[in-house]
């Protein structure tokens, strides 16, 4: 059988090289992407074949860079990542004037963030290609996923994190017993150190030497969105930006779905791809707004730590793709991030971390600025769970003092609130404050 996975190709100069654990072009230092033989992919893939696949990212295996065909294959390293709910959001939509608004709820992944998609692909690729150690530079969620998938694969895991990471992200990573390397510095320092180490040790660093394979896992978010919309691409997608890696891959995923004929009718058009950043770390939004492509690095200062990358490697590609598809890149303040978290929770019952607050915050800001007529299909990618950054909500809701455990006390305190909210409690005889006819 011919191989589906053809080569690595430089995004800048187009040079093609054999598949290997490397991520930059030798000639121009451009980033490398996996290139498939799409005739071979087309021969295998169909809506029906996908439908028969597992309820995970691996239903799209024909568009992922891991060769699972060999008879001795032990299969992918999986915890059931992906195929997360695409939730119609009528109440949030009502507040924002959007009738066809959807939340792609990626908080529902095994370690509660979108990173499980990329790490499942990275770990599977590393195991098949002879690596025995898996590592990463992380702002938190990636460390969490690498720790879990290393455990699942039975491989040692090394996670490099900034020392000031949220407590909510430490314990759920430490429990998998990886080697945790805390660095005195921010994420950009951690990333620089790992780039140096990647040249010295024979490890698979998910987001460094094996980044071309790792990043392909992001595409599944867009494949799923199209499949769950009935094999249609939406009109616009709002995507949080850290390095910009997943944003670029959603562009590739949409193109693939169109070119392979998997989407049809109105749903076979390129969606507008729009990006969301926190104002405290918004180098991509700044470049977009100034009409630049070059990204000027910043020092991050925001509660949205999981997407606080001051020197985003794919930033300039994000700007180009946003422009080419008719999207925008915008940012929100710290207060707007918190309001975004509360807005999504109050209207649709979904609790997201600060990165999701950024996405919903930008969605709300764009909606209120009159960006949409109201009938467009808009999807917001909500990529991490609220329990990961729960401490930012401390003090946002005031708790009433406790009451004694008696019906009387409950009535005294709450009967007015209950009446205001409509249908009153059934009158209770002999209880002060009960309703009488």
- In the bound state with ligand PLP, the residue whose beta carbon lies nearer, of 350 and 355, is 355
Token pair of 365, please?
């800001």
| Site membership for ligand PLP, residue 384 (CB under 6 A) | yes
Among positions 181-240, residues that touch ligand PLP (CB under 6 A) are: 240
Distance between CA atoms of residues 289 and 323, nearest Å: 11
Among positions 155-174, residues that touch ligand PLP (CB under 6 A) are: none
| Site membership for Zn ion, residue 11 (CB under 5 A) | no
Distance between CA atoms of residues 167 and 294, nearest Å: 35
Length of the chain: 437
Q: Count Cβ atoms below 10 Å from residue 216 Cβ, excluding itself.
A: 26
Short-list 109, 119, 168, 184, CA closest to 390: 168
Least separation in angstroms between residue 355's CB and ligand PLP is: 4
Distance between CA atoms of residues 227 and 381, nearest Å: 15
Instruction: Name which position in 20, 28, 296, 424 contacts Zn ion (CB under 5 A).
Output: 28
Least separation in angstroms between residue 174's CB and ligand PLP is: 18
| Site membership for ligand PLP, residue 242 (CB under 6 A) | yes
- Residue burial 126-147, b: 16+ Cβ < 10 Å; e: rest: bbbeebebbbbbbbbbbbbbbb
Token pair of 413, please?
């305190």
Out of Zn ion, ligand PLP, none, what residue 271 binds, judged by CB under 5 to 8 A for its kind, is none
| Site membership for ligand PLP, residue 365 (CB under 6 A) | no
CA-to-CA separations, 4 to 36, 66, 152, 397, 433, in angstroms, rounded: 5, 10, 27, 53, 73
Out of Zn ion, ligand PLP, none, what residue 241 binds, judged by CB under 5 to 8 A for its kind, is ligand PLP
- In the bound state with Zn ion, the residue whose beta carbon lies nearer, of 8 and 101, is 8
Residue with tokens 């992918």: 76
| Site membership for ligand PLP, residue 344 (CB under 6 A) | no
Out of ligand PLP, Zn ion, none, what residue 112 binds, judged by CB under 5 to 8 A for its kind, is none
| Site membership for ligand PLP, residue 114 (CB under 6 A) | yes
Q: Are 274 and 287 in contact (CB under 8 A)?
A: no
Among positions 291-310, residues that touch ligand PLP (CB under 6 A) are: 306-307
Residues near Zn ion (CB under 5 A) are 10, 12-13, 15, 25, 27-28, 30
Residues near ligand PLP (CB under 6 A) are 113-115, 141, 240-247, 306-307, 355, 383-384
């Amino acid at each position: 059988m011919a191989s589906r996975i053809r080569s690595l190709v430089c995004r800048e100069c187009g040079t093609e090289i054999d598949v290997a654990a490397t991520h930059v072009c030798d000639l121009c230092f451009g980033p490398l992407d996996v290139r498939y033989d799409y005739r071979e992919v087309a021969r295998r893939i169909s809506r029906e074949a996908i439908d028969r696949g597992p309820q995970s990212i691996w239903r799209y295996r024909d568009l992922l860079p891991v060769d699972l065909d060999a008879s001795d294959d032990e299969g992918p390293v999986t915890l059931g990542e992906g195929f997360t709910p695409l939730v119609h959001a009528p109440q949030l939509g009502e507040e924002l004037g959007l009738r066809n608004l959807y939340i792609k709820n990626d908080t529902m992944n095994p370690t509660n963030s979108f990173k499980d998609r990329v790490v499942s692909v990275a770990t599977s690729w590393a195991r098949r290609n002879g690596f025995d150690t898996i590592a990463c530079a992380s702002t938190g969620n990636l460390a969490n996923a690498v720790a879990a998938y290393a455990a699942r694969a039975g491989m040692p895991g090394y996670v490099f994190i900034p020392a000031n990471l949220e407590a909510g992200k430490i314990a759920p990573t430490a429990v998998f017993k990886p080697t945790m390397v805390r660095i005195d510095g921010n994420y950009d320092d951690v990333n620089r150190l790992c780039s140096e180490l990647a040249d010295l040790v024979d490890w698979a660093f998910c987001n460094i030497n094996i980044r071309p394979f790792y990043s392909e896992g992001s595409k599944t978010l867009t494949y799923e969105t199209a499949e769950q919309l009935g094999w249609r691409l939406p009109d616009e997608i709002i995507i949080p930006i850290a390095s910009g890696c997943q944003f670029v891959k959603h562009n590739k995923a949409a193109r693939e779905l169109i070119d392979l004929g998997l989407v049809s009718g109105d749903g076979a058009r390129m969606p507008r791809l729009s990006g969301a950043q926190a104002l405290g770390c918004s180098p991509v939004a700044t470049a977009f707004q100034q009409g630049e492509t070059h990204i000027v690095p910043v020092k991050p200062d925001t509660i949205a730590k999981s997407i606080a990358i001051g020197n985003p490697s794919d930033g300039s590609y994000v700007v180009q793709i946003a422009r080419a598809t008719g999207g925008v890149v915008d940012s929100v303040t710290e207060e707007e991030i918190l309001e975004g978290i509360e807005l999504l929770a109050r209207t649709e019952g979904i609790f997201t971390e600060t990165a999701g607050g950024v996405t919903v915050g930008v969605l709300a800001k764009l909606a209120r600025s009159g960006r949409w007529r109201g009938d467009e299909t808009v999807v917001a990618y909500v990529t991490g769970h609220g329990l990961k950054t729960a401490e930012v909500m401390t003090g946002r809701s005031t708790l009433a003092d406790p009451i004694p455990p008696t019906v009387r006390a409950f009535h005294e305190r709450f009967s007015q609130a209950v009446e205001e909210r409509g249908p009153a409690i059934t009158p209770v005889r002999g209880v002060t404050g009960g309703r009488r006819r």
